[in-house]
Amino acid sequence: MLLEKCSMPSTPTADAILAGDRRALAKAITLVESQRAQDRQSAQQLLSALLPHTGGSIRVGISGVPGVGKSTFIEAFGSQVIEQGHRLAVLAVDPSSPVAGGSILGDKTRMETLSRADAAFIRPSPAGRALGGVAAKTRESLLLCEAAGFDVILVETVGVGQSEHQVASMVDFFLLLMLPGGGDELQGIKKGILELADAIVVNKADGASESMARITQQHYRAAMSLLNHDGFWEPQVMTCSALNGMGLQGIWEMITHYADVARDQGAFEQARADQNLTWMHQLIDELLRASVSGHPSVQSAMTDIENEVKQAKTTPLAAAHSILALSRQPV
């Protein structure tokens, strides 16, 4: 028995993931997150085998201001989605410390009820140094979840102002959660973030905050009406209470209606095709940077070149050309 366990392949198989094996899915996501060259190769082979089985989900990005209750919302909203017969995956990106590089990875604790549901899969991933705060491999993780049969995927971001553009480039619907308030939050939200939102939802519309939530809803409707929105969809502004469930069903119906209309218009497939191209170009940039920085000649000379730039002995452009020239040297 011990020999049988030792001989089991460490790399998850495509068949296991297609069968909905949660353990295999977790291992596959760990594989795509790995920085080891051998793991990267194995991950790409696995993704290539699974690619024909992806694309069958509704992908929803969720962001919001600090304290808005994203995790509480996701747990309540996700539970309702599951009750309607769907399988839900949550890719929750945890903030990593810029100093120590650590990560809390506490989403399963914050979503205790949802994490116990058989039809739910929660995967916290450290944001690390990924551009915009979104885990560098979130897109690959998303594809793996689709191949495993999850038909609704939520991507939670690290916070407003840091990762919205990255999330918008990988999801079908982008939801921005806001707090009831007198408009102070509106002053701090960048116009570009509002333009990304397919819907704004004012959470915590319960108790003494319910009337303020309605007022805030009107403020955001007025703000959104001033923005130019191309395409078939007029962004919606709604209220909800993740605490008592008010408004959650309406939000789900709005998202599914959006997906139906987008498919009828041909916008659903076109948006995903455009996202794949954006993804490819981002990967080209990342691979080129990794190739240059990993070259032995560049590594040995980088500190000296950086010091010359710091001391204004050379221009950043000249330094960049020097580094590129070094990266072309035979290894």
The 3-class secondary structure across 212-265, one letter per residue, is: HHHHHHHHHHHHHHCCCCCCCCCCEEEECCCCCCCCHHHHHHHHHHHHHHHHHH
Q: Which of 63-72, 86-95, 315-324 has the highest mean pLDDT?
A: 315-324
Q: Is 90 exposed, middle or buried (0-12, 13-18, 19+ CB in 10 A)?
A: buried
Average pLDDT of the residues in 120-124: 91
Q: What is the pLDDT of residue 102?
A: 41
Pairing of strands 152-156, 173-178: unpaired
Q: What is the pLDDT of residue 113?
A: 86
Coil vs helix vs strand at 1: coil
Pairing of strands 199-202, 58-64: unpaired
Q: For residues 67 and 82, is the Cβ–Cβ distance under 8 A?
A: no
Q: Which residue has the tokens 């209470």?
A: 241
More confident residue, 128 or 36: 36
**pLDDT, tens digit, 9 for 90 and up, residues 279-296:** 899 889 888 998 999 999
Residue 159 has pLDDT above 70, yes or no: no
Q: What is the pLDDT of residue 230?
A: 73
Please state, in angstroms and as integers, the Cα–Cα distance from residue 53 to each residue in 17, 50, 151, 160, following that order.
10, 5, 12, 32
Residue 3 has pLDDT above 60, yes or no: no
Ramachandran region, residue 183 (left: φ > 0; alpha: ψ -120 to 50; beta: rest): left
Q: What is the pLDDT of residue 185?
A: 56
Q: What is the pLDDT of residue 98?
A: 42
Ordered domains of the chain (ranges, CATH): 1-53 (1.20.5.170), 54-265 (3.40.50.300), 281-327 (no CATH)
DSSP β-bridge partners for residue 199: 175, 236
Stated pTM of the model: 0.86
Q: Give the C-alpha separation, 309 to 320, whole Å.
A: 10
Q: What is the pLDDT of residue 142?
A: 95
Q: What is the pLDDT of residue 108?
A: 55
Q: What is the pLDDT of residue 221?
A: 92
Q: What is the pLDDT of residue 136?
A: 64
**pLDDT, tens digit, 9 for 90 and up, residues 184-214:** 555 556 667 888 899 999 999 999 999 999 9
DSSP β-bridge partners for residue 89: 121, 153
Q: Is 57 exposed, middle or buried (0-12, 13-18, 19+ CB in 10 A)?
A: buried
Q: Give the C-alpha separation, 246 to 55, whole Å.
A: 30
Average pLDDT of the residues in 137-155: 95
Summary mean pLDDT of the chain: 86
- Residues contacting residue 107 through CB under 8 Å, at least 6 positions apart: 71, 90, 92, 94, 122, 124, 156
Q: For residues 180 and 220, is the Cβ–Cβ distance under 8 A?
A: no
Average pLDDT of the residues in 52-66: 93
More confident residue, 162 or 124: 124
Q: Give the C-alpha separation, 253 to 268, whole Å.
A: 17
Between CA 116 and CA 141, with CA 84 as vertex, the angle to 5 degrees is 55
Comparing CA positions, the residue from 204, 231, 232, 228 lying closest to residue 216 is: 204
Between CA 10 and CA 15, with CA 13 as vertex, the angle to 5 degrees is 155
Average pLDDT of the residues in 33-61: 93
For residue 184, give the amino acid letter.
Answer: D
H helix and E strand count, the chain:
16, 7
Q: What is the pLDDT of residue 66?
A: 80
**pLDDT confidence of 8, banded at 50, 70, 90?**
very low
Residue 326 has pLDDT above 90, yes or no: yes
